[in-house]
Each structure stands twice: as C-alpha cells, then as structure tokens.
Chains A and B, each alone.
Chain A
C-alpha cells in the first residue's frame, strides 16, 4: 500500500533511467524493499544452516539488522542520500545481530561513507559506494573465508564495475550485479567444503541476495507486499485456561483491524478494558486483536469505529473448555511425576516478595505442563521461532513479584533471556540456563515460591541436570556428523543436543536413542509428542516401548511442539 507512492523510474523510458539519480527518499525505499523481500524469505535463509536441525537464525539475524537500520530513518524524511545512508548504516551497526548481521552493517557503513556528502547518487557514485562497501566488509576479518556473504558482495561489486564500463544506466548496472550475486551464491558450495557436505548454499550470502533482489524489484516498479501484522508468539496462559466466572466462559474474538495512523497503545488499552486474555499486536496500518469477552459485539464495534476489519473469528469458548477438561482428565489418568505440584493448575497466588517463574514453552501441551508445575508466565517460542528479548522482558514485567527466575529452555534463547534479565532493573531476575524443555521441567520440581531467591535458584540449577534430553526430528538436509550419516528427510535423534542416531522411522530412532540415553540408570521416561503426531499413534509407539523396555516406566504427555516429533526426558 505504502509502496505505490514510490513510482520509480519507468524502465521503458531509456532516457530517464539512463540519467536516473537516486535521492534520499529513493534510497530509503530501496532499503525498505530489500528488507521486505528478505522478510518474505528469511525462513528459507534460516533453513540454510549446516547442522541438520532446524535452528538456523542467519535469516532472522539479517532481517533484524535491516529492520533496526530502517528504524533510524522511520520518521526521517530527507532528500539527501548521504544523510539517509548514514542513518541506515548507524542503525545497522547498533542493531546488528550475528555474524552475517555484522557483515551487513559493515557493508552499509562502507556504502554510506563514500556517499556521505552526496545528495544524490548516480551510476558513478553507486559503483564507488559498492566498492567501498565490499572493501569495508573485507577489512573486518583477518582471514576472509570465500564462499560466504563476502564473496557474494565482492562478485556483485566486480560485476557492477564491469557493467559501468558499458553503461551509465543504474538499473542495468544493478541488474547485472544482482545476477552475478546469484551466480556467486550458487557457486558457494564449490568454495566452502562444509557447504558442499551439507548440500546448501551459504546462508548469509543468500540473505544478501534477497536484499539486493528486493531493491532491484523496487527499481522495476514492483510493490513488495509484506504480510499483515503477525500474531505475536507471546500467549497469555489464560488463553488456554480461561477462568470461570459467573457469566461463563464467554467468546474468543480475533480480527485484523486495518486503518491509518492507528495508535497501538490506545487500542491495546481499550481492548484490555473490554475483556481478558488480550493480545494486541501490529503497527499503525494493521493491528491483530485477540481478546476474550462476554459480548463479542463490543470489541467488533470498537474496531469498526477505527477502520475496517478482516479475518474475523468468534468462537464460543464453552466448547474449548470441554476440550480442555477432556485433555486434563486424560492427563490426570496418567502416572503423575509429582502429585503435589500437578494438582495446582495455574500456580499459587503470589505476593510481591515471592519468587515467580517465567518459562519459555515450545508448544501448547508443554505450556500446560509448565503451568501445572507452577510457572507464573509463559512465553511461547522454540527452535525456529525464538522469542525476542522484548517478549521475555514483557513476561518478566507481567509477573507481580520482585523476584523472578527465567527458564529459557533452549540453548538459543539463553542469551535473550539474560539480556531481558539485565533490562528488568526493577526486579531481581535469575536466568537458569536450561537448554531443553525437559531440563526446564526438571528445574521446576524444587521450585518454592516462598523460598530465598538464591537458594531456590541454586536448587533449580542442580535439578535441571537430573534429566537427559532426547529429541526426535526430521533432518532438513543431508549431512554427515558425529559419525552419523543422515539423508534429507530421514528421522534423526539427538541426545542433549548432539546428533546420535538416524533412521527411516520414528520407532527405530526412538529405540536407538533410548539405548544410548539409558546406559546410566533411569527409571522414568517421559515422551512429549509434537503437534504433527496423532495421539493414537503416540500411544501405539509408547505401548511398543513399554513392551521393549519392561523395566522402565513410560509416561506419554502431549507437548504440542513444532518440528520435534518427540521430546524425551529420562530421569
């Protein structure tokens, strides 16, 4: 919608494009288009990690870096290309994430440095700026590795320089540069054996190609549509466990509100006052609303007063409640790991001197388990959708206590949790570095909300190591690692994060990793089955395991996690 105002150069008008000058506004649009195109494809970039488990974050890191860069020019309207570039470069540097994000920020800095005094860019300046971008990026590392984002940047620059010998048409120069960048990307496996072995192209290089391609598409006049406001990963637990009151369970109302200059904070406050389990996310053009109310008409009318509504969903939660009751009954019928802590659904009431728990859960079933064990606030997220520092920080802020313990439950989330803990200066926050869901669950067992923060944290830290974690997932690509050969699409098993078994069916891999996991004594094995597994199938698999390992006790719990067919906890 926004992009249509940016009528770019008409490629058919040779005279105009030949002398096309890029000013600050155009540069901002191009950068935005690059970011948007990456936004559409960052998940693909994430998939290009060399380890066969879906935990790549290069695409996310580069996207975050671009978004942070663009935030600097969000309300900065200047025709001066050099000043716009300087702000973007500054934003990219301050907001850079990961290796590829850092390189991307260096590219922007080199680019911005050359054009700092230029109000407009022509072909000559463009090529010089690309050269300095590449050179700056190469200066940032002592031993540049070819077959990476650096190679892609360098070859694109070389092609731009060659094209400049033939034409002054900036569109044509960029077309050739992008084509060469793609070509270089395709050749990265030839240059870097680890890529060849994993059967992928370089992820950072791929991210750069998407950014450049987005810019080129914008130059061609194409409008890149980005998705509507995405539903946030944070889910208030009340969504799953709606409280009963005298009016019954009410309705679950969801819609997308589209309008202009929407004030998200005001909308959130208004929606919040209407009901409970509020979730309001979005930007000034589109807001996703989720709320539980007794009268669905109220939020809908409010939304209509601000703009147009789409994707409206109204559900009677009485039905959901029945389903929840059914599931809870099923779970209660299973051998509980700790009857005392299982009984208190929703955790105890906390006063401000108590200790609260913020836990990250990767599925609705696991969320329920954490809740039952006393977690105060949950943040939804896991392997491929790590919650941000902000989301964890928000959850810490929502708890009513001064003392908070955070369970990240994934090795990739520990850092974000630690950053969130540092941000929460009004509370005492301790992060227990739990690397898996079972570790988090195990850590919760000694949790005592009335205890001394240091003592409880220490007890939980020790308890997390009482379990061995097994994970069963599908390999996203072929690889050979730790002496285990894996073909893409095969089932793989990990023990405490290391690849330990592979096979063609889940049962075989389960048995193989059970054999390896239980070399030491372990009595109770809990299987959390994922959202891709039917309950009947999970029961069948568990029964098979009970017969194969009669000396061990098996417990089956719905985890609801994505990607991982089963998560095992052995204690």
Chain B
C-alpha cells in the first residue's frame, strides 16, 4: 500500500491499482502482444499483489515501487527495444498517475508470438 500524507488527509494507492495502470501501459507498448503468467514459485512472500491475468507484480521497496512485467512479444521485433519502451512507458504511466517514484520496472519476456507462419 502506497501512502501519501497531505495536510488535508491521506492518499492510499493499492498495489492493485498500480498493477492496473502498469498493465494498461504495457499493453499499449508497441511489440507487446500479450501478458503472461509469472512463475508462481517465485518470491510469493515479497509480492504484495499478484494478478496472473495481467502478468504484473507490484512490490514496495521503501518509498519506491518495483514492478515486474511478464509479457509476450511479437516475433521479429528487437526485444531489447521493445523492453526499453515498455520500461519507460510503465514507469511514466505509474509515476504520472500516482506521483509515486518507480525505482524498477523488470521485464520478463515469457514468450514470443509468431504472427506470420511459413
């Protein structure tokens, strides 16, 4: 839970809300054609939220947020470029909407989709 004190009250932003923002930004990134399920064995305790449908994990690291994104990328794109755009897009969307600094966006490419078959 991310909390922000103001003179007139407190703003709390749930990891779920952040995951939705991140998911939306991820799906808007060029080259990302789907979200994937993260490996359930990994790091369950540290995860504040887990929504396998969206392929996003949000964790808190002090006053910062760490976001893990599990995606399927279109075959034929340069994965490094797509992943960089994804990191920038997710960070921008979350910081812009919540005002909470995102310290890390980790991209996990879980698969590639081949659209053209031959």
Contacts and interface: CB of A to CB of B under 8 A. Distances in A.
Interface in A126-184: 136, 139-143, 145
Interface stretch (B4-12, B30-38, B44-52, B61-69): B30-38
B85 A141 contact: no
B116 A113 contact: yes
A142 B81 contact: no
Given A99-B85, A113-B116, A139-B115, A106 B77 contact: yes
Contacts of B30: 99, 102-103, 140-141
A97 B81 contact: yes
Contacts of A415: 84
B70 to A, nearest CB: 14
Contacts of A98: 81, 84-85
B28 interface: yes
Interface in A77-127: 93-94, 96-99, 101-103, 105-106, 109, 113
A415 B74 CA distance: 23
B81 A140 contact: no
B33 A105 contact: no
A113 B31 CA distance: 18
Contact of B77 (A96, A97, A113, A145): A96
Interface residues of B, number: 19
Contacts of A99: 29-30, 81, 85, 89
B27 interface: yes
B81 A141 contact: no
Nearest to A93: B78
B69 to A, nearest CB: 13
B109 interface: no
A141 B32 contact: yes
Contacts of B76: 93, 106, 109, 136, 140
Contact of A102 (B27, B81, B115): B81
The list of the 10 closest CB pairs from A to B, nearest first, reads A99-B85, A140-B74, A139-B115, A96-B78, A102-B81, A96-B81, A141-B30, A142-B27, A99-B30, A143-B27
B63 to A, nearest CB: 13
Contacts of B33: 139-142
B29 to A, nearest CB: 7
A94 B79 CA distance: 10
Contacts of B28: 141, 143, 145
B107 interface: no
A141 to B, nearest CB: 5
Nearest to B77: A102
A139 B75 CA distance: 10
A98 B80 CA distance: 9
Contacts of B100: none
Q: Which of A93, A101, A106, A140 has the most CB of B within 10 A?
A: A140
A22 B66 CA distance: 51
Contact of A105 (B77, B84, B89, B116): B77
Interface residues of A, number: 21
B interface: dominant SS: mixed
B53 to A, nearest CB: 14
A102 B78 contact: yes
Contacts of A145: 28
Given A93-B76, A142-B27, A102 B32 contact: no
B21 interface: no
A101 B29 contact: no
A82 to B, nearest CB: 15
21 contacts: A93-B76, A93-B77, A96-B81, A97-B81, A99-B29, A99-B30, A101-B81, A102-B30, A106-B74, A106-B76, A106-B77, A113-B116, A136-B76, A136-B115, A136-B116, A139-B33, A139-B74, A140-B77, A141-B29, A141-B30, A142-B27
A484 to B, nearest CB: 13
B57 to A, nearest CB: 19
Q: Which of A102, A105, A143 has the most CB of B within 10 A?
A: A102
A99 B89 CA distance: 10
Interface in B61-118: 74, 76-78, 81-82, 84-85, 89, 115-116
Interface in A47-103: 93-94, 96-99, 101-103
A140 B116 contact: no
Contacts of A94: 78
Given A98-B85, A99-B85, A415-B84, A105 B78 contact: yes
A157 B78 CA distance: 24
Contacts of A105: 77-78
Nearest to A97: B81
Contacts of A103: 30
Contacts of A102: 30-31, 77-78, 81-82, 85
A181 to B, nearest CB: 19
A102 B84 CA distance: 11
A375 B30 CA distance: 39
B98 to A, nearest CB: 13
Contacts of B78: 93-94, 96, 102, 105
A142 B116 contact: no
A143 B74 CA distance: 13
Given A102-B78, A139-B33, A145-B28, 10 more contacts: A94-B78, A99-B89, A101-B81, A102-B77, A105-B77, A106-B74, A136-B115, A140-B31, A142-B33, A142-B34
Contacts of B29: 99, 141
Nearest to A143: B27
A143 to B, nearest CB: 5
Contacts of A143: 27-28
Nearest to B33: A142
Contacts of B77: 93, 96, 102, 105-106, 140
Interface in A328-345: none
A216 B84 CA distance: 33
